[in-house]
Amino acid sequence: MTGPVVVASDLDRTLIYSEGALALDMPDALAPRLLCVEVYERRPLSYVTEAAAGLLEELARAAVFVPTTTRTREQYGRIRLPGPPAPYAICANGGHLLVDGVSDPDWHGRVREALSAGCAPLAEVREHLVRSADPAWLLKERVAEDLFAYLVVDRALLPEAWVKDLAGWAAERGWTVSLQGRKVYAVPGPLTKSAAVTEVARRTGASEVLAAGDSLLDADLLMAADRGWRPGHGELAETGWSVAHVDGLAERGVAAGEEILRAMLRAAAR
């Protein structure tokens, strides 16, 4: 007997989209109907198309669907995806493996051990982020789950050279920098989505792993999968990132999320 197919997908700007990221490049009369999947402070925040909602429900029946996100557990908890609750979910870029909605303490302990030995401490990186940022474009600074740090910035004023300099400084200390929308993430190298998905595959006895993502923090996930997809927007598309088993789609915005789900469902059904 063969094991199930595991489908691990990033959420923001891969499957779900804020109003600013929808990219509805079409006449209003042709725009797809949207379903809100996240409310924050009593306001709708993230959407999928109605067609994507149906595909998500089908995918949950055909495979082990694993939401795989850099969001904290609290931020992930705001999302209400169509279909049954996911038996596994990955939050904080792999720092937490949720099993039926509860963080697995053994997994989190293993992550902590890897971080203590493999990179510079969070306090050092956070201090550098805040000290080097310009108040003219820095809106907020945050620490996520005591695992990594990020800044919320005014993207129009953010100097491209600053991001490049930060990436070089962080790489020397074993950290990765990713620019996603209005957020600049600094994440320790040992903290990866791929490691957590590999653990899910082991526990489920998966026969195949499918993956999707749009940012630099998804690259390791896509590399570790048997087959993957990236949308026509985001860091990976903008830098021309590609590997043989990952399909780069032309679709952008919420239409890309819908096409990714169709492709995953076809692959899972085979």
Per DSSP bridges, beta strands 34-40 and 43-49 are antiparallel
At 270 the pLDDT is 81
CA-based torsion, 234, 240, 242, 246: positive or negative: positive
3-state SS string for the chain = CCCCEEEEECCECCCEEEHHHCCCCCCHHHCCCEEEEEEECCEEEEEEEHHHHHHHHHHHHHCEEEEECCCCHHHHHCECCCCCCCCEEEEHHHCEEEECCEECHHHHHHHHHHHHHHCCCHHHHHHHHHHHCCCCCEEEEEEECCCEEEEEECCCCCCHHHHHHHHHHHHCCCEEEEEECCEEEEEECCCCHHHHHHHHHHHHCCCEEEEECCCHHHHHHHHHCCEEEECCCCHHHHCCCCCCCEEECCCCCHHHHHHHHHHHHHHHHC
Of 255, 270, 248, nearest to 7 by C-alpha is: 270
Tokens of 179: 């620019």
Maximum distance among all alpha carbons in the chain? Answer: 59
* Ramachandran angles phi, psi of 175, nearest 5°: -120, 160
Q: Which amino acid would we find at residue 16?
A: I
Give me the residue label for tokens 């076809």. Answer: 266
For the chain, first and last CA: distance in Å? Answer: 15
The predicted model scores a pTM of: 0.94
Question: What does the pLDDT profile of the chain (270 residues) look like in tens digits?
Answer: 489 999 999 999 999 999 999 998 888 888 899 999 999 999 999 999 999 999 999 999 999 999 999 999 999 999 999 999 999 999 999 999 999 999 999 999 999 999 998 899 999 999 999 999 999 999 999 999 999 999 999 999 999 999 999 999 999 999 999 999 899 999 999 999 999 999 999 999 999 999 999 999 999 999 999 999 999 999 999 999 999 999 999 999 999 999 999 999 999 988
At 29 the pLDDT is 86
